[in-house]
Structure 1
């Protein structure tokens, strides 16, 4: 097991962005808990399934980035507190309080009632794509689908969808442009400020004129019970907006690439659409959109796999490495849509388990099913190794573009 930090030059490369799984396999085998020096911050990576699952519920690994050490500054930057101080970056009892308030909006009955609307959005998007015979599926489908759904849930007016999407995409694609690092940071900070200003205005507007949406419901709960501060209303809205579309969009892109590069599994799913629920789980395990869980902080000296993690260290649980652990999954690097559903970590584990899991599954099942029905002969428009991806240092695994062709 290596005692030296793994340098960024060994992991955060174009080759790693295209296919990180060989690197994850080496880490699992040779250094399952190891320090890594990344372009953004240094941390310890945990890569084996059992260790990852244990770390996700370890109370000694705190999610509170806003304590005296102010870890958020090195992770998110100086403008982050206005947007990111939310339940994702909080521990119980703060996390428990915030999650209880929000979970009511994602009750299974409420999400199931959205099914006809989600199907309509999918069909509306595909109606524009089908006649063309080609598409950038990220731009035309994978990104707008979850963005429209979560925007409508939050109560963002349709006239504002495009500009809100533009700001979130500046944040999502940070590091992928040809701008200098200084220009990139400035662009992200500007997008954060504009998004914060907009969401604060949205909360104020909903307070004056409430409607049947999540933001109005949160305001009502705040006013009636005093359980959310004004700042928490804004940061919670941001969390729901960003988490509600980012990972789903990236997952849809990754899933399409996985299917198109495994034609036997693509044919299987076309022939047996009843496999869609299990297929979504396998596609998420195979190439999930959040390779490393959001950072945790060791509140005391820890030991995993005989490796000491000093107090104050940042720790990253590598979900995509754990989901390819041969000690837990048979032949894990093989895409098998008939795989007996196992407890993958794609939606997390423990108290921070994905709150929007029911909505994400619904969007994925409806979206992928419709793509396969309505785009016959679907294939990549460029060789797979020419696909443009988010940079390797991004916290997300996804595509910048997904060119495809099909029979119009």
Structure 2
């Protein structure tokens, strides 16, 4: 019998993997994963991109590259950071990562020791919790309202514990709630952060998918003390299978991050990085994002209208101004995890809310994704969910 490490013995199938497995079953109307709409992947354009890469760079395109990443892509990221997130940075401030998930894992490894505290929104992205868990941290959930983290509650927590090293936040179209922090809340947050010795991970994979709201300054753009690490991603705006993300951080963090990444994978796919860079050079990425945004806004509205029509009274849900998710709150006597088998029996799936809380509990919520399912399946899926919820409330 193989003897595994203590940590390996704690591993179990991830919640994300199980949810993605559901999406492979064609009969299931899955609102579970955070999957983009595959019909919008620019496949024909990418055939021309691949040909251009081989014609211009040949075998160099598939050789090892630097751990920091392909320079033309890092230059493109700097342009996007300035235009989209109001951050001035240079290629040396950027590391290309194998998806944001790798960035979350490495950052926790270099910033946090076992049993040290990580602060997170309540609720927060379950994938971040998975990425942080190998360190063996403890978690404090910072109370949130419909505008994001409550500054007064954050300050109480930081003032009471000077060992806290890291706080993880998603200010734009938060996963899972869809909430966006207003500018005043962002400024109040940064005013507090500047008083304490803590690093902020600002995760923003959804910030370019915005429907009814103007561009807002990122936390990183307000960062006067180099305390914010910005995490970006091409997964939601381009093609998730390329596994391309990036970080922007101060030189000390970049140095440790690169050294750790060298031990993990030497570097992110050199060809995949070129695919993204060449696409941005050869085609109009902004037009592509506008096409995505228009479709997702339509699907968000359709899901919201369908929930208003088919969900029983006493159930609330968010109307996100961007991103991919809405957050449903049930009456407290209902348990979204217990309702899942009944929903799966009707071939419809969501993500139960308790897995978005690092310390558990809060079982009367679930997350719905509206980006991946076609319109007719959104309506039918919400109708099926409504039938289950009506039956549960009638008991």
TM-score bin, normalised by smaller chain:
under 0.3
Higher helix share: 1
Superposition TM-score, scaled by structure 2 size: 0.28
Higher strand share: 2
